[in-house]
């Protein structure tokens, strides 16, 4: 991809931490939507390994998951020829701009971030500075590439709003520097919930969520988890997230896997028991994920190919990131060498 011609398209960017295994929610809520936009946008997608270390990681596991996540990105339809795929830590401009933006993010703003409160509660023994300031790094991730849109789940919209606030504050002091990005939230599948607790988002961490479906799950494991999925006592397949969160979550998943509308799903399962419905949802997910699992396994065997993808991706990303960072350094008054 020629960076000069690609820059004429609207820019879209996003990333996922390799701190756990990619889930069904990661795919239908994010990656599949990314893949559909490759022809219309200049797309940058990365493995957010700098963000992952705000929580202690086993180094070997982090390295493995980072490479596996890259292979899964490709298996999910992200063509490296059409999308810039890279590892966050390979583009040092992320960390450098993250520090600058720390100085334009207010303490009160950072302390109000919902995810900081949630993660602090879960990691009380390791409430580190990175956990508190990582929204500034996330702002750097975004603003480096001057994107028009940032595809996010509902739970990440707060961070994009903070990014917009930081960018506007910086622009207000130094003049037009950053493009102000918009959140992009897909309508269906934007928030896939846990099968055992449909009030919580499906988590990448196994310890947190026994009701998750990961992309590499075997068909028999997928079916077993769907058969155990939480429902309710009404025995009616009807979309009502407040009163029927379990069934509504299964309907969201089935809609994402089959393309059917909620009305069509309600008609299809009218008069059927929940057992039949859960089996059908499980079967649809098995077939949705089968080619992804098989393609990922195939790609992981070719280490040279994966290395070429992330090396070329970092080169392309850095070409754009360096331009933004140079502009920022000039604006704040750093002496360049």
Residues involved in catalysis? 119, 201, 204
Using the structure block, give the residue that is written with the tokens 């994009």. Answer: 160
Could you give the CA distance from residue 307 to residue 70 in angstroms, rounded to a whole number?
A: 10
Name 45's bridge partners.
14, 85
Nearest-5° Cα angle at 209, 280 to 248: 40
The rounded distance, in Å, linking the Cα atoms of 214 and 205 is 10
Q: What is the 3-state secondary structure (H, E, C) of the chain?
A: CCHHHHCCCCEEEEEECCCCCCEHHHHHHHHHHHHCCCCCCEEEEEECHHHHCCCCCCHHHHHHHHHHHHHHHHHCCCCCCCEEEEEHHHCCHHHHHHHHHHCCCCHHHHHCCHHHHHHHHHCHHHCCHHHHHHHHHHHHHHHCCCCCEEECCHHHHHHHHHHHHHHHHHHHHHCCCCCCCEEECCCCCCCCECCCCCCCECCCCCCCCCCCCECCCCHHHHHHHHHCCCCCCCCCCCCCCCCCHHHHHHHHHHHHHHCCCHHHHHHHCCCCCHHHHHHHHHHHHHHHHHHHHHHHHHHHCCHHHHHHHHHHHHHHHHHHHHHHHHHHHHHHCCCCC
**Angle, vertex CA 256, rays to CA 250 and CA 259, nearest 5:** 120
Take residue 130 and report the two structure tokens written for it. Answer: 């990175």
């Amino acid at each position: 991809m020629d960076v000069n011609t690609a820059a004429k398209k609207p820019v879209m960017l996003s990333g996922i931490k390799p701190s756990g295994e990619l889930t069904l929610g990661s795919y239908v809520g994010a990656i599949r939507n990314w893949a559909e936009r490759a022809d219309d946008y200049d797309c940058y997608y990365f493995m957010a390994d700098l963000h992952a270390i705000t929580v202690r990681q086993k180094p070997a596991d982090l390295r493995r998951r980072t490479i596996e996540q890259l292979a899964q990105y490709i298996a999910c339809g992200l063509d490296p020829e059409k999308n810039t795929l890279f590892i966050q830590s390979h583009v040092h401009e992320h960390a450098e701009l993250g520090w600058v933006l720390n100085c334009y993010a207010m303490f009160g703003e950072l302390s109000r971030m919902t995810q900081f409160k949630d993660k602090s509660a879960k990691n009380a023994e390791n409430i580190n500075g990175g956990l508190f300031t990582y929204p500034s790094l996330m702002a750097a991730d975004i603003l480096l590439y001057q994107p028009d849109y940032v595809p996010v789940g509902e739970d990440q919209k707060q961070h994009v709003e903070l990014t917009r606030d930081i960018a506007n504050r910086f622009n207000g002091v130094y003049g037009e520097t950053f493009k102000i990005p918009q959140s992009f939230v897909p309508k269906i599948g934007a928030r896939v919930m846990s099968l055992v607790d449909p009030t919580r988002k499906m988590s990448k961490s196994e310890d947190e969520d026994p009701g998750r479906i990961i992309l590499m799950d075997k068909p028999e494991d997928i079916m077993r988890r769907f058969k155990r999925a939480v429902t309710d006592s009404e025995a009616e397949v009807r979309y009502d997230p407040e009163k029927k969160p379990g069934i509504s979550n299964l309907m969201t998943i089935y809609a994402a896997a089959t393309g059917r509308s909620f009305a069509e799903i309600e008609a299809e399962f009218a008069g059927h028991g929940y057992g039949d419905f859960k089996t059908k949802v499980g079967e649809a997910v098995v077939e949705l994920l089968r080619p992804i699992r098989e393609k990922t396994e195939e790609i992981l065997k070719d280490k040279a190919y994966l290395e070429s993808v992330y090396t070329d991706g970092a080169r392309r990303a850095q070409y754009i990131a360096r331009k933004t960072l140079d502009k920022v350094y000039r604006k704040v008054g750093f002496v360049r060498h």
